[in-house]
Amino acid sequence: MTRKKVLTTCIYCGCGCQFYLDVEKNKIKGVFPSQNHPVSQSALCVKGWNAGEFVNHPDRLTDPLIKENGMFRKASWDEALNLVVKKLIETRDKYGNDSVAFFGSAKCTNEENYLIMKLARAVFKTNNIDHCARLCHASTVAGLALSFGSGAMTNSISCFDEAELYLITGSNTTEQHPLIGSRMIKNLREKKADCVVIDPRKIKLTKFAKYHLKQNCGTDVAWMNGLMHVIIKEGLENKDFIRDHTENYEELKKTIEKYTPEYVEKITSIPAQQLKEVALLYAAKKSMIIYSMGITQHTTGVDNVRSCANLAMLTGNIGKVGTGVNPLRGQNNVQGSCDVGALPNVYCGYQAVTNEAIREKFEKAWKVKGLPANIGLTVTTVPDAILQDKVKALYVMGENPMVSDPNTSHLEKALLKCPFLVVQDIFLTETAQYANVVFPGTSFAEKDGTFTSTERRVERIRKAVEPIGNAKPDWKILCEIADHCGYKFDYASPKEVMDEMAQMAPIYGGITYDRKEMEKGFGLQWPCPTKDHPGTTFLHKDGNFTRGKGLFFGIEYKPPAETGLDNKDYPLTLTTGRSYFHWHTRTLTGRTSTLEREVPENYIEINPEDAKKYKVRKGSMIKVSSLRGSIEARALVSDIVKPGTVFMPFHFAISAANRLTNDALDPIAKIPEYKVCAVKIGEDK
């Protein structure tokens, strides 16, 4: 077989870089960046360069597995499919449609997520379909939809070259979205932009920042209200924009009256004078707000996101290049999984399941009757539903909640109790070990499909090598399950699934695989409603919001839900995040030698002042406990974190930060409060 190069999209972060897989004899020999791609621009980060290594890892699942007497044995596809379908149907028929739940996956393609949501809705008549966007940006989807009418990054990565100021909060951009981070550093070095970092932790971009404001964890609404208080007091609000393009301004103005910089300092620890200076800087410039999970993973996640939207609208920093509210989505296809409806409240294209006309449209297209009108369970509410005997069967495609979910011990109880658990993945993950049946799926290199990046760019992935062993592409497994249920998923390839999605979701209406081979390999940014539409670089152009007028909300600061904060026995606040060398739950990066050797184990960052106070030696293993559990982790003594705050990456199954974190939820988005966890260090008294 000759050597070939196959253009595809990176499996890791939401930047959506494209590269070529260099393939010989059905093996990936290397990875080369696309020269002309608008994001990659001839570069990749360390994860991208090594994205081919895990594909041939010896741990790959090659056959279906069925658990008997606590042990897995290999099974044929027929046996495993028959068992799964029999159990799912039996459960549905005995306990009702909502006794079955499905998790899609931000690692899988748009087409696969569309199919699993269609399987849940059309075949099992349940809206119990969700995926891990619930754990990262559910508050973005809900919050920006409320404020603007569209829950996605408003601008594009190219817009970073046009901004005069980056206001970065809760995003360690260089580690989590490396190619966006390096673009920002280039612009900062060349003095094309200024930057302000608002984060309890030092990040690489802090070096270039005019200001680094270190807020107390969980006080974001307060400092954003403080910025807006100063802007209005100084008469720097954009009066024309507010009058012509927004509503409910008076409510915002009234709410933020009391958020003087001095009042905000008491809540946030941000010095009043610095807050004032940052407010003036933000209002004076063409400014972009850039945020990630530091803003979203709170019980006030939706409030935090709507506060970002308030700030942008107040100054008219929206609907133009170089401005906007820019949530950086973490995983390769977390944007797309939301777009195609792997959510409990919407079909593809964010069409509400509660809307009768929309349900009729899908019933007609899918040739079914009785699509459910109730909003389904989320990834974060399924565990309690299992423990309360409401959910009796769970189907997990490509997710690893045993590492990614908060308060893991609680989830573990639920998985142990769940009468029937199916996991479809490429490795026997920590979650798969609890399964009754495991289906071997395929990696990004072994199938066709599309991912949608953080900037709404829908891009192709292309099959470069044959699947390992008897593994099958995830879309094919879903088709076979539907077929075994007696509902024909009649797709010859993912292309046909995309054609159906384009028909059903207006924002994807003009996107097809054929369209000049997806616009010469660069993809298309939604909304792209028709075949001749060029795609959309930035949303809400000239203040024409998706919902009509932008909606201000008057939002009061509410303290975090974490009860441990009031408990003197838990004096430190743990916040969690990512490492440059790892991704999500390490199922892939933990099987990539170059990445694994850089950061082989978990650690806890602790400020030297706290290290002295609690007698922690650099490099020692220390016990870390919260109200929910205890772990041991290696101490990394550093002033990266401020005194009183400690930090851990969440990627690791051993020393798992999520054994400690809080599963209290935002009331609207149902996202957990990962970012504020009261802990103590050292041995129990």
Site residues, ligand SF4 (CB under 6 A): 10, 12-13, 15-17, 44-45, 47-48, 178-179
Rounded least distance, CB 424 to ligand SF4, Å: 23
Token pair listed for 152:
């996605």
d(CA 650, CA 533): 40
Rounded to 5 degrees, φ, ψ at 448 are -100, 160
d(CA 347, CA 338): 9
Rounded least distance, CB 48 to ligand SF4, Å: 2
Rounded to 5 degrees, φ, ψ at 8 are -150, -175
- Where is 414: in which H helix or E strand? helix 408-417
Rounded least distance, CB 155 to ligand SF4, Å: 18
Rounded least distance, CB 350 to ligand SF4, Å: 24
Identity of the residue, 87 or 457, whose beta carbon is nearer to ligand SF4 in the bound complex: 457
Identity of the residue, 99 or 525, whose beta carbon is nearer to ligand SF4 in the bound complex: 525
SS3 label, residue 627 = coil
Rounded least distance, CB 136 to ligand SF4, Å: 15
| Identity of the amino acid at 49 | W
- Nearest residue by C-beta to ligand SF4? 48
Rounded least distance, CB 21 to ligand SF4, Å: 13
Identity of the residue, 47 or 229, whose beta carbon is nearer to ligand SF4 in the bound complex: 47
In SS3 terms, 339-376 reads as: HCCCCCCEEHHHEECCCHHHHHHHHHHHCCCCCCCCCC
Rounded least distance, CB 160 to ligand SF4, Å: 13
d(CA 116, CA 482): 9
Q: Are 628 and 608 in contact (CB under 8 A)?
A: no
Q: Are 197 and 206 in contact (CB under 8 A)?
A: yes
Identity of the residue, 160 or 552, whose beta carbon is nearer to ligand SF4 in the bound complex: 160
Identity of the residue, 585 or 607, whose beta carbon is nearer to ligand SF4 in the bound complex: 585
Residue 372: CB atoms within 10 A of its CB come to 18
Rounded least distance, CB 179 to ligand SF4, Å: 4
d(CA 192, CA 566): 44
Identity of the residue, 171 or 573, whose beta carbon is nearer to ligand SF4 in the bound complex: 171
Rounded least distance, CB 61 to ligand SF4, Å: 24
In sequence order, which residues have a C-beta less than 8 Å from that of residue 393 and are 6 or more positions away? 87, 88, 91, 92, 99, 100, 101, 418, 419, 420, 421, 422
Place of tokens 């490492």: 579
Token pair listed for 30:
């290397």
The residue ranges of DSSP E strands in 124-177, in sequence order, are 129-130, 165-169
Identity of the residue, 303 or 459, whose beta carbon is nearer to ligand SF4 in the bound complex: 459
Identity of the residue, 177 or 298, whose beta carbon is nearer to ligand SF4 in the bound complex: 177
Rounded least distance, CB 16 to ligand SF4, Å: 6
Q: Which of 587, 575, 632, 641 is nearest to 609 (CA)?
A: 641
Rounded least distance, CB 331 to ligand SF4, Å: 10
The residue ranges of DSSP E strands in 527-628, in sequence order, are 550-551, 572-577, 603-606, 621-625
Q: Which spans in 206-350 are helix H?
A: 220-233, 239-245, 249-256, 261-268, 272-284, 293-296, 301-314, 334-339
Identity of the residue, 48 or 449, whose beta carbon is nearer to ligand SF4 in the bound complex: 48
Rounded least distance, CB 9 to ligand SF4, Å: 8
Q: Which of 578, 141, 94 is nearest to 337 (CA)?
A: 141
Rounded least distance, CB 42 to ligand SF4, Å: 12
Rounded least distance, CB 40 to ligand SF4, Å: 7
Q: Are 662 and 672 in contact (CB under 8 A)?
A: yes
Q: In angstroms, how far is CA 296 from the centroid of its own chain?
A: 10
Identity of the residue, 152 or 555, whose beta carbon is nearer to ligand SF4 in the bound complex: 152
Sheet holding 524-525, edge to edge: 449-452, 457-461, 524-525
Identity of the residue, 21 or 45, whose beta carbon is nearer to ligand SF4 in the bound complex: 45
Identity of the residue, 17 or 120, whose beta carbon is nearer to ligand SF4 in the bound complex: 17
Q: What is the DSSP letter of 631?
A: E
Identity of the residue, 173 or 661, whose beta carbon is nearer to ligand SF4 in the bound complex: 173
